[in-house]
Structure 1
């Protein structure tokens, strides 16, 4: 049986923020805002069939992107109590993130993408449940906002898998070291 990996794939500013101080993400682009080359993103989509995100991330990313994911056959899990967001491909749940990930891992399928936000990421780090970290660093300094990583209780050692560089963006992929 193939074990499904849990992959954090997320974008951050060079100084470590995932949103600016007003909760916006309109700065998420490289040197040329019209260049849509995202090699690592398309590579990720070939290997996942489930996306987990917070309600805030779901609303920020917008219907346009989520419709693209639906057409790619991805099942989207949104952690929220607002059931009106549900559809055939969008499953809204108020389940604990670690329990949800554990449940999805027991099902057959491809890898699981953790899209955001921070309130989902920190408990998964604490529970040592993230297998790979794929982080796109945008060539922008935000100064204030929501940090990608907040305080957590343990050190997690990682090994470099690959890097991609395009349009001023640096994508870094790490895997969890197994001892």
Structure 2
């Protein structure tokens, strides 16, 4: 069975975005080649990407532009992986979202994700958005949590955890720019 893997950046005070969804803090620590390589490896281990409707409004176009027009950008290899992945956008209101390999799912979240896990293929990855990820966590659908802790506190913001969740630390990697990648499994 395929696993659903969550990859998110988080501040040291536990927020994944500012109060209004700001994520300008994500890259304050600067680039780290080893850390970025791990992100590429995680994407390469997956062939399906789940997205919430709000994130999907800009996400496909951003990565398609980078894949098509920015071959010298250090994120170009990741862009190519993302563009080629099957992307499933979960929405209660939209029936179509523009982008390559993008489809919209209007059905029950838990039922649909469980059916996706039972299909053959590589693992399934989710990046966000905040409310969508919170729903996946609340429904106990995440199999592996890859939380990238940035060395910054923002004081207030949005959290993906809406209730108590006990996780088991599987591994932890510290990078030279101060970020730490923690891999957690449900306890």
> Within the alignment, does 1:128 sit opposite 2:140 as a pair?
yes
Maintained 8 Å contact 2:60/2:98: no
Once superposed, what is the RMSD of the aligned Cα atoms? 2.4
> Within the alignment, does 1:175 sit opposite 2:158 as a pair?
no
Indicate the SS of the match to 1:121: helix
The CA deviation at 1:76 is 1.0
1:82 to 50, 74, 94: 94
Give the structure-1-normalised TM-score. 0.81
From the superposition, tell whether residues 167 and 47 of structure 1 become closer, same or farther in structure 2 (CA, over 3 Å).
Answer: same
May I ask how many residue pairs the two structures share in their alignment? Answer: 171
Equivalent residue number for residue 47 of structure 1: 45
Long gaps (5+) in structure 1 = none
Give the structure-2-normalised TM-score. 0.78
The CA deviation at 1:43 is 1.4
From the superposition, tell whether residues 174 and 108 of structure 1 become closer, same or farther in structure 2 (CA, over 3 Å).
Answer: same
Off by >6 Å, runs of 4+ in structure 1: none
- The 5 A counterparts of 1:2-151 are 3-32=1-30, 35=31, 37=33, 38-59=36-57, 61=59, 63-65=61-63, 68=67, 71-72=80-81, 73-80=84-91, 81-151=93-163
1:2-61 Cα deviation digits (max 9, x unpaired): x101111111111111111222212211422xx263132111012111111112222364
Long gaps (5+) in structure 2 = 68-77
The CA deviation at 1:88 is 4.4
